[in-house]
Amino acid sequence: MAKPFFLDRRPHRGISYDEYMKRFQEKVEHTDPDTLDEQARQLWEYTKLNLQRSQRVWKTYRPSPELKDVVQQLSRPQLWMVLTEDWCGDSAQLLPIIAKIASLSDNITLKILYRDENPDIMDQYLTNGKRGVPKLVAFSQTGEELFTWGPRPREAQRIFNEGVAAGLPKTEIYPKLQLWYSKDRGKTTEAELIELLRQHASSH
């Protein structure tokens, strides 16, 4: 049964990846860091860095022939809702991959919702009790939930969990994650999404 927020068509009113990136760029370019307090300036620096990362991943990620084949086998439309925020380092590495995969099929419509503007939706997709993003939720046309994925690939999540368990500050955990992402080049994310797509190639 479709969830109330789906019946209200809130995912459908999300923005496209192109619109997301346009807003992302405008936010970075039109913000004067000298007018920000220390915390806001730090967040702006993260956002600026993430814009560069997102653009690089979009340019360098090449979907594999296996992925293209699986995506082409989708026989029914799916709506992919991604909850995210532009300051999120994981999102900078993963959202471009999700968007490029979605662009391979007319049967996939990608819509992006900002996490902090949709807390009631986000709270239905928590990870270990946290509002981890990016969170991908795939729906059929009728609102059946096909699969969820995120906020990061399993191996990256293991690195994060081990860092937290060891009491490391996030300032030490995130560089380890970024190093893993740069070495992985999207392969693990792709493999996990191939697995999910295979399970739901003909879902309606």
% of the chain residues with pLDDT over 70: 99
Task: Indicate the pLDDT class of residue 135, thresholds 50, 70 and 90.
Answer: very high
- What is the rounded distance in angstroms from the CA atom of residue 16 to the CA atom of residue 18? 5
Domain count, the chain: 1
87 occurs within a structural domain: yes
Q: pTM score, two decimals?
A: 0.96
| Paired tokens of 155 | 């191996």
**DSSP run (H or E) holding 73:** none
| Whether the Cβ atoms of residue 112 and residue 164 lie closer than 8 Å to each other | no
Give CA–CA dist 197/71, Å, rounded.
7
Count of alpha carbons within 13 angstroms of residue 106, beta-carbon side: 1
Answer yes or no: is 171 within a domain.
Answer: yes
Give the pLDDT band of residue 201 (cuts 50, 70, 90). Answer: confident
Helix and strand element counts for the chain (H, E): 9, 4
Residue 101 maps to a domain: yes
> Can you give the pLDDT at residue 200?
82
Polymer length of the chain:
204
| Lowest mean per-residue pLDDT among 95-109, 140-154, 164-178, 189-203 | 189-203
Judge whether 153 lies within some domain.
Answer: yes
The order of strands in the sheet holding 145-149 is 108-114, 78-84, 135-140, 145-149
Give the pLDDT band (50/70/90) at residue 44.
very high
Over residues 160-171, mean pLDDT: 96
In-domain check, residue 125: yes
Q: What is the pLDDT of residue 137?
A: 99
Residue 204 lies in a domain: no
- For residue 125, the enclosing domain spans 4-199
Write down the pLDDT at residue 202: 60
Question: What CATH code is carried by the domain that includes residue 112?
Answer: 3.40.30.10
- Is residue 63 situated within a structural domain? yes
70: in domain: yes
